[in-house]
Amino acid sequence: LSTTVRSGSYPYTSQTSMTIYILYLTTVPPSKLIIEVNTEEPWIAGQEYIVTCTAKDAKPAADVTLFKGTCLSHSTAGLTKDPASRFVAQSSDNGRQVVCRVKHPVLSHSLETSIIMNVYFPPQPPVLEGLDTETVPAGTSLKLVCISHGGNPLAMLHWTKNGEVLSTSWEVDTFSRKASSILTLQVKPEDNHAELSCESVNQVSPQPFVLLRRLIVLFEPAEVKVLGSSKAIAGKTVTLSCYTTSSNPAVNIRWWLGFRELNQTVVTYTEGSNGGMVTMSNLTHTVSQEENGLPLTCEAFNRGTRYSKILSTPLQVFYPPQKVWIEGPPDGVPLHSRTTVRFMCFSTGGNPPGRLTWLKDGKAIRDPEKPVMSEKGVSRELILVLQPSDNMATYRCDATNDATKVLSVETKLHILCKNMSKIMLSYQYGPTFLKNAFSTLLNQCHVLMLLELSLSLYPGKDKNHRYHWREGLEIWNVTRKDAGQYNINCNNTEGQSNITLTLDVQYAPSVRIVTDPVYVDLGQTANLVCKADANPLILGMFSWEWLGEEEEELGLQDEDEDTGWLTIAEVTRSHSGRYKCTVDNGIGPSASAEVQLVVRFKPEIQKGVQWSKVASRGDGSSNAEVICQAEGIPKVHLSWAKNNVAMDFADPRYEERTVREGWVYTSTVTIINVSTALDYAVFTCTARNALGEDQLAVQLLSTSHPDPPSELKLVSVTHSTVTLEWNKSFDGGLEQKFRVRYRWPGSVSFLYVDVFPPWATTFTVSGLSPQTAYSFSVNALNAMGESGYADNDAVLTVITRESQRMPLHWVIILTVLGGVLLVFNSLGCYVGLRKRRGHSLAGTVCDMTFIPDLVPDTVSEALNRYEGGELINAAAQRTLLVDSGSEPGSTVYETYGDGCLYYVLISSHSSHASQETYQRRKDTADLETQDGAYNSVVEHHLHNYDYELPFELRGELV
């Protein structure tokens, strides 16, 4: 193509011409953009892939750029070669675009096409929810969630226990990109040490991810057994074993006898089933008579599972009878043959009661009377019809029981054999009875029982061989049955005569209680009645006695012939107990019987600050016990409410146990794993019986500092000591101690003394000056802090008594002894240093600072004194705070070491009275005895003595 261009101005005639040649080329935009990958499968993270972008039919060649978030490549390849890029797929590329952008001169804007990357990659390792600790109590229902985040595709999950598949189900959340599997597991003892695992895997995982947990299952023993016998003879030993089946952790075993713990035990632990431990405790205990009937208890408890179980059996102690005796005709009294006599063998004490056996000359007697049991013992009667063969025979009664020891008592018989011939009267005149013919009759009678009896007796014709006519009527072995009227008729050929006599047989009393026990309501009148069988019945033969420990006014005593009364008006609880009725008519021994008086009263609950508050941590890591103790007769029933709602003890978090001792009932509620939200409340205890009820509100709260003590009072005072007493208050749920604060006129600050022992509520402050007014107060401390002072910061002012001075000769003696001891102390230190200087190891460094102003006789006294020369209380000496930081005072400290004893004068001044201060040098065995070492040691102690003291000796005077 050619063109002519002319130039010039018209109508000018001259012209210039130029020919321009233009070449036209063909330009074509891309007809299609194509992105290709060298695989049709999903991409796998970590592998390399080739991505090609082609701009077809573009003339000239298009400018092609590949993007994956950022530019991958830039190519200006020709028409016959497509641009391509190599790269490694990452898990973060999943779901992202690969963009191909093309620019061409013909196009006003660039062209783009893209593909979405689908990259497979493994999931993350699984995590576990629902198992905060690997220690789990048996019976717990676990809900475990295994979660695996990420992965394409999302993970597949399954649970196994000890290699056995438990679950293969799972859920996926595509939005959150996670897979989860829930396993509900009821924990059993068999699961102890089980390996619980959750596996996560998908198609591209090189190997499964495994989450492994080993369970530690806490389980209680299935059974507790006591092996062995709880029976033994006094002085012998019982051997028992308390055995528990497998548990985790191992069960602890304690033995109790009554309320006393027994420590003569050997405990062994062996491996049991399910990975637990078997506990066996072997007890060896020497029993005594006093322990008979006490409960012997094996207590098995597991702190890990809060398990507790007790097995109790009464201890049976066999001991022999305590006393054996025979009642019957006394020894040495002749007895006539063919006479019936009764011997009664008595045995008291012993466990079990004694077995009584009668023997004659060492051989057991057949068919004696059966034993008769009573509250105090056992008796067995032997009835004999005496024969001539019984003369000089020995009858013995043996008492024995399971204790094997035999107690015996015996009696020897003397038998008289007489010819019972007839007696003929040969009087030739009518018989008459002299006034004193039977004067000897009553004097020969034995008194046993009263019975009316009429008897007509003729000499020589009576069949009863106990009656004899020999210068009068004689009756042998008189009994109660012999009492009554006797009609005696005497006749001969000259006539007859009659006389009637009354025989009164007097005997010692026996007594019985009409009603036992006697129940009476509080404030009412009690009547105790006993009846006597005695002859004669005399006025004043009844007496009553209170058998309690403390003296008690008996009340009104009255009697009417064979009945005695004790009347107690307006009875109180102190009247409860045993009373003894004694009858004495002057014939033989007196007789007694006991009766129990039971005063019934409505329940009364123990109250006070120590009962109305209980403190415990509320973080679920501790238990708390709420205790209610009530007294009452008849039986008391205890119930509980929390915030006025009746408590349900089926809830495993609450346990209740009631113990009865006599008429005292103690109910203990244990709150397990105390929670602030659930358990800080008011627990109300109600005690009821047939006569009424009583209540106590107990507040469970958090541990805190203690409440102030109360009722501070003076017990005694001397010239140098003051004894104080107070009542403790609520301890804040922690162990508390007490501190006494005092001062005197002119003192610049208070002095504090820690009470020793810390829990005591009576304390003697010593080392005081005579005739000085001291102001005392007391407060309580525990780990949380301290309380205010007692009785709203009240001050108790006490003036000490006048001093009694030591005699002068004692002062001189003590002064001399003090000087001698000081000299020997110095010599001992010097000799010790000389002996140790050649040793390679450092010995004890002894240093003595001579104090010109120090009087020797004050050395020993100064050790027990502080400001004013006052004696330090011996019990509180180690806890007295004596360091004064507010005044230029002296300081006294005692320290003890293996080496020498030193006294170092720090300073001396007088504020309340003259004060001298000394310090004992501490053990310096670790210091070398080189020249100049003494001064450095002294200087070190002078600056740092307070910090080197035991904790209880540190402190300051404030």
Give the lowest-confidence range in 73-77, 532-536, 780-784: 73-77
Domain ranges of the chain: 32-120, 127-218, 224-318, 320-421, 507-601, 606-702, 710-800
The pLDDT score that the predictor gives to residue 508 is 85
Confidence check: pLDDT of 906 > 70 = no
Longest dimension (CA), the chain: 237
**Range 32-120: architecture per CATH:** Sandwich (2.60)
Tokens coding 355: 């077995």
Q: Report the range of poorest mean pLDDT among 81-85, 656-660, 764-768.
A: 81-85
Per-residue pLDDT tens for 255-298? 999 888 888 899 999 999 988 999 999 999 999 988 888 999 99
146-176 burial, b at 16+ Cβ within 10 Å, e below that, comes to bbbbbbbebbbbbbbbeeeebbeebebeeee
Task: Determine the average pLDDT of the residues in 847-875.
Answer: 38
Return the structure tokens found at 159.
């649970």
507-601 and 606-702, same CATH topology: yes
Residue with tokens 């053990």: 923
In 3D, which of 783, 768, 450, 485 has the Cα closest to residue 615? 783
Residue-by-residue DSSP string for 743-758: E-TT-SS-EEEE-SST
* Stretch 172-187: mean pLDDT: 91
CATH code of the domain made up of 710-800: 2.60.40.10
Beta-carbon contacts of residue 57 (< 8 Å; ≥ 6 apart):
28, 30, 31, 32
Question: What is the predicted pLDDT for the residue at 914?
Answer: 33
Collapsed DSSP state (helix, strand, coil) of residue 829:
helix
Between 474 and 201, name the one with better pLDDT. Answer: 201
Structure tokens at 449: 């029982």
CATH class for the region spanning 606-702: mainly beta
Sign of CA dihedral 257, 260, 265, 271: positive
Mean pLDDT of 886-897: 35
Percent of the chain clearing pLDDT 70 (strictly above): 77
Rounded to 10 degrees, what is the CA torsion of 948, 949, 951, 952? -170
pLDDT at 34 over 80: yes
Give a three-class secondary structure readout of 364-391: ECCCCCCCEECCCEEEEEEEEECCHHHC
CATH level 3 topology of 507-601: Immunoglobulin-like (2.60.40)
> What digits encode the pLDDT tens for the residues 100-151?
888 888 888 888 888 888 889 999 999 999 888 888 888 889 899 999 998 9
Q: Are the CB atoms for 660 and 629 separated by under 8 Å?
A: no
Arithmetic mean of pLDDT, 502-529: 87
Tell me the pLDDT band of 740, cut-offs 50, 70 and 90: very high
Rounded to an integer, what distance in angstroms lies between the CA atom of residue 170 and that of residue 120?
A: 20
Lowest mean pLDDT among 317-326, 510-519, 620-629, 919-928: 919-928
pLDDT of residue 684: 93
Query: Tokens in use for 710?
Result: 């109360």
Which pLDDT score, from 0 to 100, does residue 470 have? Answer: 63
Q: What is the topology classification, in CATH, of domain 224-318?
A: Immunoglobulin-like (2.60.40)
Who has greater pLDDT, 492 or 888?
492
Task: State whether CATH 3.40.50.510 applies to domain 127-218.
Answer: no
- pLDDT tens figures, 558-588: 888 889 989 888 888 888 888 999 998 888 7
Q: Among residues 277, 274, 304, which one has the least CA distance to residue 162?
A: 274
Mean pLDDT of 597-624: 86
* pLDDT tens digits for range 745-781: 988 889 999 998 988 999 999 999 999 999 999 999 9
Q: May I ask the CATH class of domain 320-421?
A: mainly beta
Please list, in sequence order, all residues whose beta carbon lies within 8 angstroms of the beta carbon of residue 609, skipping any fewer than 6 positions away.
Answer: 707, 729, 730
**176 Cβ neighbours under 8 A, 6+ residues apart:** 149
Query: Once rounded to an integer, what is the mean pLDDT over residues 239-250?
Result: 91
Please give the pLDDT value at position 70.
Answer: 52
pLDDT at 588: 76
Mean pLDDT of 6-20: 47
Task: List pLDDT tens digits, range 317-342.
Answer: 998 888 899 988 887 788 888 888 99
pLDDT for 464 beyond 80: no
Q: Which of 260, 251, 261 is nearest to 225 (CA)?
A: 251
Report d(CA 410, CA 864) in Å as an integer.
70
Q: How confident is the model at residue 447 (pLDDT cuts 50, 70, 90)?
A: very low
Query: 550 versus 908: which is more confidently predicted?
Result: 550
Eight-state DSSP code of residue 410: E
Select, from the ranges 138-152, 461-475, 826-840, the one with the highest average predicted confidence (pLDDT): 138-152
Q: How would residue 17 be classed by pLDDT, with cut points 50, 70 and 90?
A: low
